[in-house]
Amino acid sequence: MRQLAVAAIGLALPLLVAGCAEPPPPDPFLISVKVDSDPGKPVVGANVSRANRPLGTTNEEGRATLKLSGVEGEITDVTVTCPEGYQSPTKPLSIRLTRLAEKSKFPEYGVQCPPAVRRVVVAVRAENGPNLPVMYLDKAVTRTDAAGAASFLLAVPPGLQFTVALNTSERADIKPLNPSKLFVVNAQDDVFLFDQKFEVEKKKAPAAPVIRIPRAL
């Protein structure tokens, strides 16, 4: 009888242990993060982390697939660090943990890593101003052609303010003197126009000589 009791206990123990074992953890949430510099221009090599723990790096398509644990509906923050030459977001990306009905697809969040510098073309159109030095940072970067046109390219950070001037020191007959224009770099590549009209001073005709006729005595 005692042997039967021991055998029964031996059979029951595995069942009790199995009943007390914790259920397996749920599958992680799959979330896609898509990083672009400008629309349609993916960024490769952007790192995504959560609480300083690396989660993934964007591929050639600018995508990183994250595996996140948590509760359905929970909102969590991830940090996107852009590669050199791009500006990282100043705020973390908030993500809601959820699953889509179609298991082969998962939510995607977009992030922008704008370039640290922008390409800006400055076009100059100077009416009555041929062959004038075009000044940037107090240096002549080009000259207007015979029609008064010129252009030059800059690589500058967004938000920068800069001034372009036309040096008229070689032309005393045109006004205004040394005109300038202020530009502000936008968050995208751009073309700026410096349109200036000069007035040409007409040369005064020489005064006619005064002929004095002597009076008869």
Residue 74 lies in a domain: yes
pLDDT in tens, 43-53: 999 999 999 99
Q: How far apart are CA 201 and CA 53, in angstroms?
A: 71
Residue 215 lies in a domain: no
**Strand-strand pairing, 47-50 and 75-81:** antiparallel
Tell me whether the omega of the peptide bond preceding residue 209 falls within 30 degrees of 0, making it cis. Answer: no
- CA 52, 58, 61: angle at the middle one, nearest 5? 165
Q: Looking at the structure, do residues 96 and 127 belong to the same domain, yes or no?
A: no
Residue 19 lies in a domain: no
Between 6 and 114, residue with greater pLDDT: 114
Q: Looking at the structure, do residues 34 and 85 belong to the same domain, yes or no?
A: yes
Cβ proximity of 83 and 44 under 8 Å: yes
Report the percent of the chain where pLDDT is more than 70: 84
Q: What is the pLDDT of residue 6?
A: 47
pLDDT band at residue 10 under the 50/70/90 scheme: low
Q: Looking at the structure, do residues 106 and 138 belong to the same domain, yes or no?
A: no
For 58, the token pair is: 């964007």
Q: Looking at the structure, do residues 140 and 172 belong to the same domain, yes or no?
A: yes
Domain count, the chain: 2
Q: Looking at the structure, do residues 94 and 69 belong to the same domain, yes or no?
A: yes
Taking the alpha carbons of 48, 78, 114, 32 in that order, is the dihedral positive or negative? positive
pLDDT in tens, 127-145: 999 999 999 999 999 999 9
- Final residue before a domain boundary, out of 80, 112, 144: 112
Q: What is the pLDDT of residue 83?
A: 98
Residue 156 lies in a domain: yes
Cβ proximity of 111 and 121 under 8 Å: no
Chain centre to alpha carbon of residue 117: 7
Domain that holds residue 165: 118-200
Q: What is the pLDDT of residue 155?
A: 97
Q: What is the pLDDT of residue 103?
A: 83
CATH number of the domain to which 63 belongs: 2.60.40.1120
pTM of the model: 0.70
Q: Looking at the structure, do residues 33 and 107 belong to the same domain, yes or no?
A: yes
Residue 178 CB neighbours (<10 A): 11
Q: What is the pLDDT of residue 175?
A: 97
Q: How far apart are CA 118 and CA 189, in angstroms?
A: 5
Q: Looking at the structure, do residues 30 and 102 belong to the same domain, yes or no?
A: yes
- Final residue before a domain boundary, out of 112, 131, 149: 112
Residue 18 lies in a domain: no
How far is residue 54 from each of residues 7, 10, 187, 214, measured CA to CA in Å? 51, 47, 29, 107
pLDDT band at residue 3 under the 50/70/90 scheme: low
Q: How far apart are CA 142 and CA 132, in angstroms?
A: 8
Q: H or E segment at 121?
A: strand 118-127
Q: Which residues contact 45 (CB under 8 A, 6 or more apart)?
A: 57, 58, 83
pLDDT in tens, 148-205: 999 999 999 999 999 999 999 999 999 999 999 999 999 999 999 999 999 999 876 6
- Final residue before a domain boundary, out of 112, 140, 172: 112
CATH number of the domain to which 125 belongs: 2.60.40.2610
Residue 45 lies in a domain: yes
Residue 15 lies in a domain: no
